[in-house]
Amino acid sequence: MMKIGITCYPTVGGSGIIATELGKMLAERGYEVHFITSSLPFRLDCVHPDIYYHEVEINHYPVFQHPPYDLALAAKMAQVIDREELDVLHVHYAMPHAISAILARDIADKDVKIVTTLHGTDITVLGYDQTFKRMIAYGIEQSDAVTAVSNQLVEQTKEQLEVVKDISVIYNFINEEEYVRKDREFLKANYNIAPDEKVFIHISNFRKVKRIEDVVRTFAIVAGQRKAKLILVGDGPETQPIFNLVESLELTDKVLFLGRQKNISDLLSISDIKLLLSQKESFGLVLLEAMSCEVVPIATNVGGIPEVIKDGETGYVVDLGDVEAAAQYAIQLIDDEISYQSFVKRGLERVQNHFSSDEIISQYIDLYHKVIRSSDDNDT
Ligand code: GMT
């Protein structure tokens, strides 16, 4: 059976979640999976005989002013490629993973195919950095296959990095067993949310790009007219400024700062409307998680979001910064329960029909076979 190496950022974040769930589902299908990461991926919470974990060890030799993580990663990748006889090394997030993988491929004795998945800010932020631009383009061109999580990300990559490489779209997916609406009504009481209060939720890493200020301002408009609470999940540099904004808008008793949480599906299970009003978002994995847990999303018309939400059918898409429109859509949803339920139903169908894990995993497996086949063809 094919042996696949996976490298990703092991901490909280959509790309790490996708990479880890992919590895788990590949192992369930009988593939041997080797995670090569700086620490145990936080979603790697299972024991499976076909899942292995190889930690990248950093050498703190005193001469190094900055320990060279990217080279340590390449060295570990090369070691695992040879020792475990990997067929494919699938890296998530171009910087530095694709570059390290290419170096590892050169170092290793065994032939291995590199598959790179672009997730978003590796292109939409780092791709604009003149120092990194050529290196990311090199990582893309030198990979054996490249995928991106939305059509929009493919277009932006080609335009921004001027690469000619064929980049295929493989959408994100969720673990459907986990992201399902559960009966968690007791949690509402625990969080002091009244049964007739509507629950808004925002989940992110609290960086500026997420525009959480717009989330709070949208909620402020709604809360002035309807009974509602806002749950903020996550942590990051924007936490304190958002805390100050909530105080200045006198919303302290209506906004709950939960910090980082593990059981996201439990929190989604007590929520009604999900707000994601980011400035950039190549996909917006949290939107899939929301729809799968029967929460209706309202999000901005940026990046890959319109490929995830069918505007006016499974949620609403608003212009960046248009908090008035977001609030009006939220109020419409609150006021019309029958319409709200049809959004929920269509959202569930959309997740099943377009983003089913079964289908997406098959697409990745087909790609692995294709890159391996292409080298066999070249040999003959
Ligand atoms: O850069 C980030 O925001 C983190 C990054 C990640 O590593 O999780 O998120 C990106 O990848 C996710 C998984 O493919 C996408 O769902 C997010 O939309 C994307 N973030 C941005 O484009 C800002």
DSSP 236-253: STTHHHHHHHHHHTT-TT
pLDDT bucket at 378, cuts 50 / 70 / 90? low
Distance from C-alpha of 162 to C-alpha of 210, rounded to nearest angstrom = 27
- Residue of 45, 8, 51, 48 lying closest to 32 (CA atoms): 51
- Specify the residue with its C-alpha closest to ligand 1, atom 9: 14
Q: How many residues does the chain have?
A: 380
CA 117 to ligand 1: nearest atom = 14
Q: Using a pLDDT cut of 70, give the percent of the chain over it.
A: 98
The residue extents of the domains of the chain are 3-173+356-379, 185-354
CA 149 to ligand 1: nearest atom = 14
Q: Write the pLDDT tens digit of every residue in 25-60.
A: 999 999 999 999 999 998 888 789 999 999 999 888
Distance from C-alpha of 376 to C-alpha of 380, rounded to nearest angstrom = 7
Q: Write the pLDDT tens digit of every residue in 75-97.
A: 999 999 999 999 999 999 999 99
> Is the CB of residue 72 less than 8 Å from the CB of residue 56?
yes
188 pLDDT higher than 70: yes
- Specify the residue with its C-alpha closest to ligand 1, atom 2: 121
380 pLDDT higher than 60: no
CA count, 13 A, side-chain hemisphere, 199? 25
Helical H segments across the chain, by residue range:
14-28, 69-84, 97-107, 121-124, 130-142, 151-161, 185-190, 212-223, 239-248, 264-268, 285-292, 305-308, 323-335, 337-354, 357-379
| Residue 108 confidence (pLDDT) | 98
Quick one: average pLDDT of 161-181?
96
Pocket test for ligand 1, best of 282, 305, 307 (most atoms within 8 A of CB): 282
Residue 118: left (phi > 0), alpha (psi -120 to 50), or beta?
beta
- Residue of 24, 15, 18, 16 lying closest to 41 (CA atoms): 16
Fold exhibited by the domain 185-354: Rossmann fold (3.40.50)
| Residue 121 confidence (pLDDT) | 79
Query: By CB neighbour count within 10 A (0-12 exposed, 13-18 middle, 19+ buried), where does 338 fall?
Result: exposed
- Residue of 370, 186, 348 lying closest to 270 (CA atoms): 186
Read off the pTM: 0.94
Distance from C-alpha of 355 to C-alpha of 316, rounded to nearest angstrom = 18
CATH of 3-173+356-379, one of 3.40.50.2000, 3.30.565.10, 3.40.50.620, 3.90.700.10: 3.40.50.2000
Ligand 1 pocket, CB under 6 A:
9, 13-15, 18, 93, 119-121, 124, 149, 172, 209, 280-285, 303
**CA angle (99, 105, 107) in 5-degree steps:** 105
Query: By CB neighbour count within 10 A (0-12 exposed, 13-18 middle, 19+ buried), where does 192 fall?
Result: exposed
